[in-house]
Amino acid sequence: MAEPLPVAIDPHPLLDLGVLELDAPPTPETPAWLAALLRRTAPAPLAADDGVRAAVRDLLRHGGFKPTGRAKPSSEYLLRAEAEGTLQPIHPLVDLGNAVSLHSGLPISVVDRGRLLPPLRVGLAGPGARYVFNAAGQEIDVAGLLCLHDAQGPCANAVKDAQRTKLGPGTTRVLVLVWGTQALPGRCAAALAWLRGLAPRLAGRA
């Protein structure tokens, strides 16, 4: 097993970041138990509410970013997609992050470890920072937003992760980031613990 990549974290008055590395499961198919967790009615140790939503938005606003419209937190997109019946399995590790995010209300990034170029740092993106976030070539302006940075620049955050670090057929290991806030004490740790507890089931070890 590869040694975890170190992630430096810039000082921030609100950020409560959870970091975890996971190996890709032996099969690319999402198991039924995990697909079932992509529903708000599924039993879960955490539940999102308006207070969590507001606290997450406050976290992202701190650097001057405006988490509204198409730039709202990914956890809010998941809630809307679930309500509309469009939240479907994508990849077991992405679905694992999505399930925990859906129920906890905290945005979660799942990126391909092999596509990251160290050193890694989490901090506010600078003026003019932007990147392509989907296969269609659309870009997001991430200036003032907390982001994971590698040697090529910002590549993941609580809104949209970069296309260049997304999972693909060759993914063997991922880096997971839980974007928690100190305004919600213990929630990030609980979400990370739940995610860590579910992960072995993907490998058939639990």
pLDDT of residue 206: 42
Domain boundaries, the chain: 7-199
Show the low-confidence residues of the chain (pLDDT under 50). Answer: 205-206
* Cβ proximity of 174 and 4 under 8 Å: no
pLDDT of residue 26: 87
Burial class (CB in 10 A: 0-12, 13-18, 19+), 31: middle
* Cβ proximity of 86 and 102 under 8 Å: no
pLDDT of residue 1: 57
- What is the C-alpha to C-alpha distance for residues 93 and 38, in angstroms, rounded to an integer? 13
> What beta strand segments (E) does 97-172 contain?
108-112, 120-124, 130-132, 139-141, 146-150, 153-157
- What is the C-alpha to C-alpha distance for residues 98 and 75, in angstroms, rounded to an integer? 8
| pTM of the complete model | 0.96
Q: Which fold has domain 7-199?
A: Phenylalanyl-tRNA Synthetase; Chain B, domain 3 (3.50.40)
* Cβ proximity of 52 and 184 under 8 Å: yes
